[in-house]
Structure 1
Amino acid sequence: MGECKIDHSHEDVKKKYESQMEFLPQDMSALFNNFFKEEHTQDILNEVFHLLKKYDLVTEEEKSERNNRIYLVLNNV
């Protein structure tokens, strides 16, 4: 994934999650629900946004890599 210079808001991340939710593993929903209950740094918001961006279009291998990263981030914030 390339570097993006746009800062994404809490609401941007939530909308992106909602648009990709049906493509994500079911067990992530509780992690995302907890994630959205709290405030996060801009770096975390941007990272999660970009992990979700075009998630439905990436290869299974890329999804696996993104899933691992999403779990890592959501379990540690």
Structure 2
Amino acid sequence: MEAKTNGCSIDHSLEDVRKKLDAIEPYLPASISQGLPGYMEQERTQDELNHVFHLLKKYDLADDEEQARRNEEFRKLLQHI
């Protein structure tokens, strides 16, 4: 996964990702919202943190098709815990 392909030049900290997860958690499928904390407990690269942050960002505003795409990305990430 390549960093900053989404046009964002900000590196998001683990704390940023946790805060974003807390805000978006009510909108996520249970399997994803329950799996992500364990995923983030393991050491993650900056690229991985940025990727998860941007999957979470505005998830609640995304249409069904975009949410399904992001859910698939989350599932791929969570397979590697």
- Alignment partners' CA distance in 2, 1:17 and 1:30: 10
Quick check: 22-31 or 62-71, which moved more?
22-31
- Alignment partners' CA distance in 2, 1:2 and 1:40: 19
- Alignment partners' CA distance in 2, 1:54 and 1:15: 13
Deviation of 1:36 (Å): 2.5
CA RMSD between the two structures: 1.4
Gaps of 5+ in 1: none
Q: Please say if residues 31 and 75 of structure 1, whose CA atoms lie closer than 8 Å, have aligned partners that are also in contact.
A: no
Identity of aligned residues (%): 44
Q: Aligned pair count?
A: 77
- Alignment partners' CA distance in 1, 2:10 and 2:61: 21
Gaps of 5+ in 2: none
CA deviation map 1:16-59 (0-9, x unaligned): 00000000001113311211322200000000000000000010
Deviation of 1:3 (Å): 2.0
Deviation of 1:13 (Å): 0.3
Runs of 4+ in structure 1 deviating by more than 4 angstroms, as ranges, are none
TM-score (norm 1): 0.90
